[in-house]
Each structure stands twice: as C-alpha cells, then as structure tokens.
C-alpha cells in the first residue's frame, strides 16, 4: 500500500485500550492525551451543558473541576469523610436535598485510596444520576476486589508524569457504553465525519493519545502490580516507623479496599506541637520534597463562588488540608533514603 503520508497508525493505541480495559475489567476504553481530557469527554458524553449542576469532590486537584467549567456547567462541591478522605455519602445525600436534579456526580479516589464507592453509587442510582469516577490517582486500586473507575457510568485514569504509571502524559476513559466510547474517539480526533473529504458537523478536539505514548503505556501496564507492591511497602514502612508517635496518623486504609498507595500521606493531630509546615521545612532543608494535602476546591479563589455542601461545622476537607503532609513516595527512593526521611521527621519530636 502506498500512502499519501498523512496517516497515523494506531496499533499501540488500540492494544493499550484493550489491555487497560482488560486489566481493570471494563468493556471499552478510549486512550486520550490526558486524564483531564478524559474527564472533559465524559462530561461531553453525558451532554453536560450550560446551567447544569455537577456534584464534585471538594478535596481534589483542580483538574477534576475544570472540565465542568469548560462546558459552562456549575460545580457543587461535596465535603470529605474521615474514613477515606473522599466524598462523604452523607454530604452527597444532603446535596441531593438541596439540588434534586444534578446532571452528574464526579467522585475522586484520593491518593489512590478508594472512596466509599458502593454507597455513593447506590445514592446516585436512587436519584438516577450518572456517576463519573476520577481514578486519575488510583489506577490499580480496588474496592471489594473491583477496580476503581469501573463502578460508575464512566471512569478516567491518568498517566501523567507524576502518577503511579506514566506515559509522560496521557489518560484513558473507560465505560461499558461502546457507542459513547466510539463517539469520544470521534470527538477526540477533531470530529472528522466519514467522508472522502474533511467534513465536520460537530466541534472536535485534539485529544487522542499518540501511538508512541500508547506504546509506553503498554509497557507501564506490565509493571503496575509491581509498582503497587513497592508503593505499599513504602506506606507500610512509614506506618510502622511512625506508630510510636502519637501525633502522626497515616491516611487510613478503609475496610474492603486495596489502595495503590500512590502517595503516602500523614495527618497530624490538632494539638500536635509539630505542624505540617515544620515537617515540610525540615525535609526541604535536606533537599527532600514533600507537599501539603490538596487545598479544598471551595477555598480556591477561582471556585469559591460555587456552593459547598458539608455535614459537620468544620469541613473535613479543611481539616485534612490544615493537618496533612504528602511524604516522599517515589518508587525510585532507596530504603536508606526513606530511613533518612523518617529520621528527620522523628527528630522533630525529640
């Protein structure tokens, strides 16, 4: 075959879609340029438009929210609960009382720890509202042995440079809805109609994953289980070493869940004399990176005009933001390096 030279071959893209869908136990997948693009396409597939309300986890990265705004819809932020740090089913119920007809719910599995997804799914089903799972951080994590991202109508994953597996940049949308996934592939490749010439009836996006990136993704998928094991070991080491420091709590592992432990995160007790900033500064002095927990969306200048639903006076998301520290969790970190991190932190209590 002699080609004009404009074609992109997608063998790896197709294979990566199949292999990822197979791994997570979803039926169909569309490989995209980013997790954010996957969230955007999920909202397009749900026909979310101007004026629609979307319930959204409050404690997350802004990429969960931005696509709601791309479609001129209105986010309503839902507070976290303390068991998983994710969307509180009670606050979600409360949101339904105030806004009975949202167009969708998007829930995040923070730092790789599954939300109370079955409860959340049940609430959404009861109200007949589609659920989207932002599993950008939780690739490979399970709830009752079922992969995060496969409970709702749509699930999204990210393979950005900082995630548990990475293609440098990339994302995936999964669903049981074959037709909608095909539609997303169409939108993501500039909405080119089937015609000899270039024919457009809809607005398209340049969101498709490239074949080279998909090739990397296929390789990454093979090391995912191993990486989860390494991340779990890092988490368990911190847990064991900090057991004797009363002020430190690890992000809890909820019943029936297997987190991927993308990041090991601690919180400090309210009355602890050592504050998160002390830990971050002590580590920084030794050139060791750490971060605060995500700043809640309802506190972000760009989003503070939107409604926020909570059940407790003091929002759980705010408490986590004020008391949390994300610790070094890189799988390239050596045992000695992790010991050093632990020693620096323990020394603060001496």
Ligand X SMILES: *Cc1c(COP(=O)(O)O)cnc(C)c1O
Other residues' Cβ atoms within 10 Å of the Cβ of residue 199: 10
Between 100 and 219, name the residue whose CB sits nearer to ligand X: 219
- Give 104 or 248: the residue with its C-beta nearer to ligand X: 104
CB 267 within 8 A of CB 292: no
CA distance 140 to 223: 11
Partners of 77 in the β-ladder: 56, 308
Q: What is the closest distance, in whole angstroms, from the C-beta atom of residue 35 to ligand X in the complex?
A: 3
Nearer to ligand X, 55 or 242 (CB): 55
Q: Which of 229, 182, 232 is nearest to 208 (CA)?
A: 182
Q: Give the span between the Cα atoms of 60 and 136, in whole angstroms.
A: 11
Min separation Cβ 41 and ligand X, Å: 12
- Nearest approach in angstroms of CB 112 to ligand X is 10
Q: Rounded to an integer, what distance in angstroms lies between the CA atom of residue 216 and that of residue 218?
A: 5
Closer to ligand X by CB, 30 or 248: give it.
Answer: 30
Residue with the closest Cβ to ligand X?
35
Q: Collapse the DSSP code of 14 into the 3-class scheme (helix H, G, I; strand E, B; otherwise coil) and give the result.
A: helix
Residue holding tokens 């990041």? Answer: 263
Least separation in angstroms between residue 108's CB and ligand X is 5
Sign of CA dihedral 106, 38, 141, 121: positive
Phi, psi values for residue 123, rounded to 5°:
-65, -45
Q: How far is the CB of 137 from ligand X (least distance, A)?
A: 5
Residue 102 near residue 94, CB atoms below 8 Å: no
Closer of 166 and 331 to ligand X (Cβ) = 166
List interacting residues with ligand X (CB under 6 A).
Answer: 34-36, 60-61, 63-64, 108, 134, 136-137, 158, 160, 171
Minimum distance from residue 36 beta carbon to ligand X (Å): 3
Residue with Cβ nearer ligand X (34 or 268): 34
């Amino acid at each position: 075959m002699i080609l004009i030279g404009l074609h992109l071959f997608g063998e790896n893209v197709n294979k990566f879609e199949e292999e990822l869908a197979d791994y997570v136990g979803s039926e169909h997948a569309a490989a995209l340029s980013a997790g954010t693009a996957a969230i955007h396409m999920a909202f397009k597939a749900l026909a979310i438009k101007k004026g629609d309300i979307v319930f959204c986890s409050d404690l997350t990265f802004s990429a969960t929210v931005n696509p709601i705004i791309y479609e001129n819809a209105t986010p309503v932020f839902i507070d976290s609960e303390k068991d998983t740090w994710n969307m509180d089913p009670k606050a979600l119920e409360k949101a339904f009382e105030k806004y009975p007809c949202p167009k969708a719910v998007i829930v995040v599995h923070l730092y790789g720890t599954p939300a109370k997804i079955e409860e959340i799914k049940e609430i959404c089903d009861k109200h007949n509202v589609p659920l989207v799972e932002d599993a950008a951080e939780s690739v490979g994590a399970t709830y009752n042995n079922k992969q995060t991202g496969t409970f709702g109508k749509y699930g999204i994953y990210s393979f950005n440079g900082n995630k548990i597996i990475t293609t440098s940049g990339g994302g995936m949308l999964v669903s049981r809805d074959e037709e909608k996934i095909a539609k997303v592939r169409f939108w993501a490749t500039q909405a080119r109609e089937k015609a000899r010439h270039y024919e457009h009836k809809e607005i398209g996006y340049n969101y498709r994953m490239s074949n080279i990136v998909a090739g990397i993704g296929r390789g990454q998928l093979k090391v995912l289980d191993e990486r989860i094991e390494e991340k779990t070991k890092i988490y368990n080491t911190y847990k064991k070493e900090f057991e004797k420091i009363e002020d430190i709590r690890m992000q809890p592992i909820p019943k029936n869940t297997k987190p991927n432990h993308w990041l090991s995160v601690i919180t400090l007790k309210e009355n602890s004399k050592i504050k998160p900033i002390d830990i971050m500064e002590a580590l920084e002095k030794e050139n060791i990176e750490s971060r605060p927990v995500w700043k809640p969306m309802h506190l972000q200048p760009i989003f503070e005009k939107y409604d926020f639903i909570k059940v407790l006076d003091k929002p759980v998301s705010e408490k986590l933001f004020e008391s949390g520290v994300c610790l070094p969790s890189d799988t390239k970190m050596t045992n000695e390096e992790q010991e050093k991190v632990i020693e620096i932190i323990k020394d603060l209590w001496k």
